[in-house]
Structure 1
């Protein structure tokens, strides 16, 4: 049985136009080698995607954000994954916000690290970065380009 697990993620851009990412070991079907992903996580019952994005950003980074700070979603992607014998179908909803400093007030990482990435670094890295297409999306967002509807990124 496949369980639905919608998530909300935040592209946090600092004054130097870098995005905060966390290192993690992805679940199946990806190789079990460290990769990078944006802050965020599961949407709780009764919570909207933007509310979840604000909560997750605070829990993982210490940045206090409001739904007004985030606005409408900028991107989505969806697909299946599994961990410890459980299968999931996830729709990730991505939001974008600029923050006033690169020092997150309370960055919580799971021991694998975190860092701020430039568009050029995201575009040229050989490391796995989630979501695919983030470099192009971030470049547009930093230039003030926001689509009428969220961009659909590859899984």
Structure 2
């Protein structure tokens, strides 16, 4: 049996000036094996905190530069196993929440792999999140979004379902 590789991530649920949330569409690995929408973020590098990763990834993927104070503490997490290229990974995704005053996106900081894997980006309304048939991550974002947009940030990270 293959020992899973640990690959934790940090992600930001980013709200634009009109309370729409930014998501990126990607091809997802097993167990989903379909297209889905993800919040900006990526792998936590050795020596990085989840907050440092979330800020770095947001800057690379969107051009938005935020501070630690602007993202605060993690508000949610999910964890589970996935498979890609014959390898098994186990992941905990840490989610932060922040607002931005601009809906502009600068993709120029993305590396070649990120540019290749990104299918599109879109700002989603809460209504769109509730009514779409598309796969959205984190699971439960539609229900959590209204709470976050109202300023009700959980004191401890909420555990969200993996699938």
Give the TM-score band, short-chain normalised: over 0.9
In 2, are the aligned partners of 1:63 and 1:106 still within 8 Å (CA)? no
3-state SS, counterpart of residue 136 of structure 2: coil
Which 4+ residue blocks in structure 1 deviate beyond 4 angstroms? Answer: none
3-state SS, counterpart of residue 25 of structure 2: strand
Equivalent residue for 1:100?
Answer: 101
Gaps of 5+ in 2: none
In 2, are the aligned partners of 1:27 and 1:82 still within 8 Å (CA)? yes
1:122 to 119, 126, 129: 129
- Matched residues in 2 for 1:135 and 1:111: separation? 22
Normalising by the residue count of structure 1, what TM-score does the alignment of the two structures yield? 0.95
Equivalent residue for 1:54?
Answer: 55
3-state SS, counterpart of residue 98 of structure 2: strand
Bigger helix fraction: 2
Equivalent residue for 2:76?
Answer: 75
Note the alpha carbon deviations across 1:81-101, whole angstroms, 9 max, x for none: 010011111000000000001
Shift in CA distance, 89/137, structure 1 to aligned 2, threshold 3 Å: same
Normalising by the residue count of structure 2, what TM-score does the alignment of the two structures yield? 0.91
- Matched residues in 1 for 2:69 and 2:87: separation? 35
Number of residue pairs matched by the alignment: 154
3-state SS, counterpart of residue 103 of structure 1: coil
1:149 aligns with 2:156: yes
In 2, are the aligned partners of 1:80 and 1:87 still within 8 Å (CA)? yes
